[in-house]
Structure 1
Amino acid sequence: MNHIPSLLVFVAACFSVHSNTVPCDNCCYNCNGVTTQEECNLITKCGRHETCYVRKKTERKLNVLYESGCLSERVCNALHTIQQGTVGKRDHEAVLTNCFDCCSSNNTAPCNRDLCTPNPPKLPPGYKICYSCSGVEKPEYCERTITCTTDQSCHVHAKMNFLYDALRYDLGCQSKSVCAALERL
């Protein structure tokens, strides 16, 4: 049996993020059943007529949970119109909606991270939110985020496998000293 070694080429790049959040066109944080919005690190791209939303709810056993994602702009507008009468009331499953809010995030970072959070925690100075994925076809396909510390930068690592003619990307945090070494190559 003849084994052909796969030839891999690694290309890595570090970059500075000038804000502390990831840029994304019409993207929202998308989670269900997290106890705080800060726990949500999944991002989804919304459809053309959709907007970001967050619903904070208290379940029968008094667990406070958040759900977030994309919702039709029409539905969000309608819910805002009738919100005064629905927030604070239980639905048929005995779930109390404490808060429901929508926002639009065109050409910015996802806007729904701090909705329904009275005093949203701020990232410490110098910390940033970066994409975090392994083996994605394109960096823009990454749908997870991670918080990087002050001694880290956002990092993209491209791997080319010439045997399969496949380029894959790893994204995440990388030590600034490693980034500086990569820049000298």
Structure 2
Amino acid sequence: MHCNGAGDIENCFLNTVRCGDLEDCYLDKYVDENSVIRYDAGCRSKQVCSGQGRRRRRLVVCTSCCSDAPDHNGPCNAKLCGIGPVTYANSTCVVCEGVHSDVTSCSSTSVCPPNEVCFTGIRIVGTSIRYVFGCYEERVCHAMLENENGGHRPGRVIHGDQGTPICHACCKGYRCNAEDCFELRKNMKITDFSPSVLG
């Protein structure tokens, strides 16, 4: 995750950045000139993380680095300095407008509203395979599984979705909808989604 001078750690979760080969993720928790706790997060050179480089001088409460891959609770630096899994983790999804030519062409993330979960889909547009990513109502995901044998298609168009659907899947977890749609669909369980979450 990435932020500068955030007053709330959850604000850091709204942005992500990919670190280079010679960098690790880091989190600094410090006190600013107004005696307010602030957070900086992002990428830092491995040399600085190992204590061999220089850092800015300020009243630092905690500074820590990590190099673990993101998991269902989010990036590794979301759990440094004694901070537990951030509450936004389960609702942070890959979200992009329109249809995309491949699964890696959408890297934007967004926090879905409380009544929505992550969604991904594969579409046929003309003669091409296209992908969609976004948030979707949890109750519709529940209905999707309930009506699976009836060929139910979600009724709401999301994020510029178009074309003929060949896969649609919902999931919960940090950026879970970046995974393969067919794999997610196979692992969907009706008990994972509430039938009564209202929009």
Secondary structure, counterpart of 1:113 in structure 2: helix
Q: Give the drift of 1:169.
A: 3.0
- The aligned counterpart of 1:170 is 133
Match of 1:106 in 2: 69
One-letter amino acid of the structure 1 residue matched with residue 59 of structure 2 = L
Residues 1:115 and 2:80 aligned together:
yes
8 Å CA contact 2:70, 2:76 repeated in 1: no
> Whose strand proportion is higher, 1 or 2?
1
What's 1:78 paired with?
Answer: 51
Please say if residues 120 and 131 of structure 2, whose CA atoms lie closer than 8 Å, have aligned partners that are also in contact.
Answer: no
After superposition, the Cα gap between the structure-2 partners of 1:107 and 1:67, relative to the gap in structure 1 and judged at 3 Å, is closer
Q: Name the aligned partner's letter for residue 169 of structure 1.
A: V
Residues 60-99 of structure 1 aligned to structure 2 (within 5 Å): 60-78=33-51, 91=57, 95-99=58-62
Deviation at 1:65, TM superposition (A): 1.2
CA distance in 2, matches of 1:157, 1:178: 14
**Deviation of the 1:63 alpha carbon:** 2.5
Amino acid at match of 2:78: R
When the two structures are superposed, what TM-score results if normalisation uses the length of structure 2?
A: 0.54
Listed one character per residue, the Cα deviations across residues 101-126 of structure 1 (whole Å, up to 9, x for unaligned) are 0011236341111222x4536649xx
Q: 1:7 — aligned with what?
A: none
Q: Write the distance in 2 (CA, Å) between the matches of 1:61 and 1:123.
A: 27
CA contact (8 A) 1:42 1:144 kept: yes
Q: What is aligned with 1:59?
A: 32
SS at match of 1:44: coil
CA–CA separation in structure 2 for the residues paired with 1:171 and 1:98: 37
RMSD, aligned CA = 3.5
For 1:78, the aligned partner's letter is G
* Partner of residue 34, structure 1: 6
The Cα of 1:132 is off from its aligned counterpart by 4.4
* TM-score, normalisation: structure 1: 0.58
Structure 2 counterpart of 1:179, from 141, 146, 159: 141
Q: What corresponds to 1:44 in structure 2?
A: 17
Contact between 2:122 and 2:129, CA under 8 Å: does it hold in 1?
A: no
Q: Secondary structure at the match of 1:105?
A: coil
Find 1:153's aligned residue among 105, 117, 135: 117
Sort the Cα spacing of 1:135 and 1:160 in 2 relative to 1 into closer, same or farther, 3 A. farther
The one-letter code matched in structure 2 to 1:101 is S
Structure showing greater Rg: 1
Where do 1:14-33 residues align within 5 Å? 29-33=1-5
Q: Secondary structure at the match of 1:56?
A: strand
Query: Do 1:158 and 1:168's aligned partners in 2 also have CA atoms closer than 8 Å?
Result: yes
Structure 2, unmatched stretches of 5+, are 152-199
Q: Check whether the contact 1:128–1:148 (CA below 8 A) recurs between aligned residues.
A: no
